Each structure stands twice: as structure tokens, then as C-alpha cells.
Amino acid sequence: SVSGDAELIAGLPAGFRWGVATSAYQIEGAVAVDGRTPSIWDTYCRVPGAIDNGDTGDIACDHYHRMPADVALIKDLGLDTYRFSVAWPRVQPRGKGPVNPAGIAFYDRLVDELLVHGIDPWVTLYHWDLPQELEDTGGWPVRDTAYRFADYSMLVFDALSDRVDTWTTLNEPWCSAMLGYAYGAHAPGRREYPAALAAVHHLLLGHGLATVRMREAAPRKVDIGITLNVATAYPASSSEPDVEAARHADGMGRRIYLDPLVHGHYPADVVADLAAEGVELPVEDGDLELISAPIDVLGVNYYFSQKFTGYAEDGRTVDDAGQPISRTIPLDKPRTAMDWEIVPEGFTDLLVSIARDYPGLPMVITENGSAFEDHADASGFVADTDRTAYFTSHLAAVAEAIRQGADIRGYLAWSLMDNFEWAYGYAKRFGIIRVDYETQARTPKQSALYLKDLAQRHRGQ
Ligand code: GBH
């Protein structure tokens, strides 16, 4: 409602960023152009059955060839920030060696195009597209990959830091490590549990190495941070097994990243949980000092929260291997097209808990959004009232967290346009702009016009 919108706008601080986010593999296409080599996603998309409908990122939104028009769309929406990712295999083919001039030139042009339109560029260095050659030598489970990431980061930083103020090292290391190496649901599709935990540590180490080197090389004040996918883990009841299950989930999803980043050590309860599974993180001397190098901003990606129980369906509290049960059960909320429950209060609780557990760390919402079954009219317009309502309830949740003391500096919607939704291919649409994949026509949806209006009114107040 208009009055509800006025209230949420009033709850957001002056200078609050309004923007949109994308990632390279999800929108660029042009995978074999200007010296780019394959990433793990190019490879994984060719595994039969890996991606719904056999979709690939080969063409995606063809953003590589349509970049100026896409930047103009952001400008038309009156948004002030655009978060995009750099494709490692474009900038440094095969993951080593000098910069590829033709590859970095694309991002050079993108940054200039954004600046000409008064849009603040926010660079994510790694949004999951590891050069395949680095996977062939072991991927994130091997320590060397962290050093390779820091070297690559410096190539990008050297080229763009004269104009880019805000830098994110990694997008959602949980996804890279767990979906990629434990659950086999994302590239490279491995199911190797101890290796996935090594990947967690090496991703964080890569973040730390890159952060320290970028800070030293910075030509002026820049903001450096990391983006995490985090959520609230609610216990199903106050029973000990349910509370334990939620603690375990929160440990593996949130604190295993934030504790080393902010406090310089892994959480003791998580280390104990892992030891009980026979897993030890491959920490070497000095690693935690690097990982806890100060950051300027925490990027928070939020989609939904879950409820956890420590009881199996048959009532047991341990599995066949003697490990405690921790599984999700429905909160009984409406769902999006991803089958994700819509839990805005989990967003408030999450942001307030981060502010409490990690005080002094400014946050920006670097992704929030939803997929729904969109219906385009003859002109391509989508009256996406469900997506619009999702934005309203989640922005209100952010405003409520701010009211409760959380330091939140901005909100970037996921996503600028419909794109390649990883294992779901093009079937799931998160865009605020409709993409017709036959013609590559872009049409702003109702939700885009809604965010445009909110940002404008907030700025004008
Ligand atoms: C983000 O990932 C990505 O950054 C972005 O590229 C992607 O397009 C967007 O979200 C939409 O998916 O049920 O075990 O997976 C979010 C991935 C999804 C990871 C929810 C955590 C919950 C636990 N997150 N998931 S599980």
C-alpha cells in the first residue's frame, strides 16, 4: 500500500543505496569470445541431466554484446548502484598468467558506461565461474587456488580501482563449497564431504589474501568486503534436539564464515561438530590473521529462512552413522516458484543477529529477490504483483532491522533481468526486467517500476 511504502521509506536512512545485481555467467553469454576460456560452469552445463532442460550460459542474456543498452535500463530505473561480477576466465584465461587485454576491456567499458550515467559500479570478483584449468588441478579444495584467486583479483584491481570504489571478493562461499563440492548441485558437481570443508577454508583464505593485497595497493580509500548467503535457522521447538539442530545449521551456514572473518577464529562448537564427523579444517599458521583482515562492508544475500528439527521422521535423534539429525521442516508459509518459503521476519531476525554478534560491521543487502511464474502480456509487460509484494515485505523487514539497531546501508535487488538460474536454467525468472530469450527484448516489469518509484521517493524525502 502507498502508506505502507511511505512508512518503509521513512525507515531507511539518508544516503541509502538503491541498486540491482547480476553475475557474469548468468547474463553475459559470449563464452568463447575475446580469449575467454571455459569455467567450471561451461563444463558442468554439459553434464547430462545437470541443468534443467539442458540449458547453458552460452548465450544467456547476450549482455556481453548489449552492455550499453543494459546500462541505459539501469539508468532509466533511477538506481544508483549496479553490482556485477567479473568472469575470471575472461580476464585471466586458464586461471594463471598475465591479464587478457580483450577480456578486461569489457569491464573497463562497463565501468566507464556506468560512471557516465552516474551509476556506482560495485565489482564482485568471484561469482562461481572458476577457470576449468584450476578445477583440473584440484579446485577450491586445494590451497593453491586461494593464491591463484588473489593474483587474479590484483589483475582486476589494478585495471579498475582508479574508478571502482566498492569491491566484493567472493559471492556466497557456502554455495561454492557446499553446493559445488559436497552436494554436487552446482559446478563442479563433486560430492566429497571433507573436500568441501577444505574448500570453505581455502575460499576464506583467498578472500583474506586478496583483501590484504588490494588494501595495500589501493590508490585511495576503497570499500572491500565479502558477500554471504545467510538466513535465520529457527528451532522447531524448545526441545534440546531441535535447538541443537538449529545451532548446527546456524554454525555451518553463518558462523563458520562470520566468526573467522570478524573474530579471527572458527566457532568452537562448529569445530567440535566437524571433529565428531572426522573432519578438520586445513588451517595453517597465519591463515586466520589474513581471513580476519578488516573489511568495510558485509554483503548480505537473503532469500528465505528455514526451521530445523533434531528428530528424524521415525523420532530418532541420530542417524545410522551416529551423527545428530539436523533437517528442515516447513514453516507453512506461501512459497515462490523456487519452492522457497516467503519469510520476511527471518530477514529482520538475521540482520539483527548479525548486528548483535558482529557489532560495528556495516551491511548492504547485496541480493534479495524472488522467482515467480511471470505472465507477459502482448507487449511483453509483466504485472508481477507477487514479486512486487516480496520486495515490499522484505524492504519493510530491512527497515525494521534498522529500527532495531542494525547498520544497513543499501539494498540491491536480485536481479536486473531474468537470467541463467544455475541448475534451473532459464525456467526460473528472478528479473525485475523481463527477457524474451527468443528476441533478447527487455521489458521492465511492474516490480522494476515499483523499485524505481520507491528509490525516487526515498531520495526526494
Ligand atoms: C543466489 O544464491 C546467487 O548469488 C544468485 O546467483 C542466484 O541467481 C540467486 O541466489 C537466486 O537463486 O536449500 O540447501 O540450497 C542463493 C542460493 C539458495 C543458497 C537457498 C542457500 C538455501 C539452502 N541460496 N539456499 S538449500
Given a cut of 80, whether residue 1 has pLDDT beyond it is no
| Element spanning 328, H or E | strand 327-329
**Amino acid identity at 290:** L
Average pLDDT of the residues in 414-433: 98
For cell 577444505, name the residue: 198
Active-site residue (options: 135, 172, 341, 400): 172
The answer to whether 422 is annotated as binding is: yes
Q: Does ligand 1 come within 6 angstroms of the Cβ of 301?
A: yes
Global pTM reads: 0.98
The phi and psi torsions of 452 (rounded to 5 degrees) equal -55, -45
Per-residue confidence (pLDDT) for residue 4, from 0 to 100: 83
Average pLDDT of the residues in 321-347: 98
Q: What 3-state DSSP class applies to 318?
A: strand
Q: How far is CA 247 from the centre of its chain?
A: 23
Sheet holding 327-329, edge to edge: 233-235, 306-309, 327-329
The answer to whether 202 is annotated as binding is: no
Q: Any bridge partners for residue 17, and if so which?
A: 410
The answer to whether 280 is a known catalytic residue is: no
Active-site residue (options: 244, 341, 367, 400): 367
Nearest Cα neighbor of 26 from 67, 61, 74, 55 is 61
Q: Does ligand 1 come within 6 angstroms of the Cβ of 41?
A: no
Per-residue confidence (pLDDT) for residue 219, from 0 to 100: 87
Q: What is the pLDDT of residues 213-257, one digit of tens each?
A: 999 999 899 999 999 999 999 999 999 999 999 999 999 999 999
Q: What is the pLDDT of residues 180-208, one digit of tens each?
A: 999 999 999 999 999 999 999 999 999 99
Q: What is the pLDDT of residues 283-323, one digit of tens each?
A: 999 999 999 999 999 999 999 999 999 999 999 999 999 99
Supply the Cα-derived Rg of the chain in whole angstroms.
21
Q: Does ligand 1 come within 6 angstroms of the Cβ of 388?
A: no
Q: What is the pLDDT of residues 29-38, one digit of tens each?
A: 999 999 999 9
Per-residue confidence (pLDDT) for residue 461, from 0 to 100: 76
Given a cut of 90, whether residue 2 has pLDDT beyond it is no
Q: Does ligand 1 come within 6 angstroms of the Cβ of 181?
A: no
Q: What is the pLDDT of residues 56-74, one digit of tens each?
A: 999 999 999 999 999 999 9
The answer to whether 421 is annotated as binding is: yes
Bridge-based pairing of strands 306-309 and 408-414 is unpaired
Task: Report the chain's mean pLDDT, rounded to a whole number.
Answer: 98
Q: Which atom of ligand 1 is nearest to the CA of 183?
A: 14
Dihedral over alpha carbons 154, 155, 161, 164 (to 10 degrees): -110
The C-alpha cell of 315 is what?
Answer: 523420532
Q: What is the pLDDT of residues 34-50, one digit of tens each?
A: 999 999 999 999 999 99
379 CA → ligand 1 middle, Å = 31
Per-residue confidence (pLDDT) for residue 104, from 0 to 100: 98
| Element spanning 82, H or E | strand 81-85
In terms of C-beta density within 10 A (0-12 exposed, 13-18 middle, 19 or more buried), how is residue 303 classed?
buried
DSSP string, 427-459: GS---SEEEETTTTEEEE-HHHHHHHHHHHHHH
Q: Which atom of ligand 1 is nearest to the CA of 171?
A: 4
**Amino acid identity at 362:** P
The answer to whether 7 is a known catalytic residue is: no
Cα dihedral across residues 430, 433, 439, 440: positive or negative? negative
Question: What ipTM does the predicted assembly reach?
Answer: 0.94
Bridge-based pairing of strands 327-329 and 297-302 is unpaired
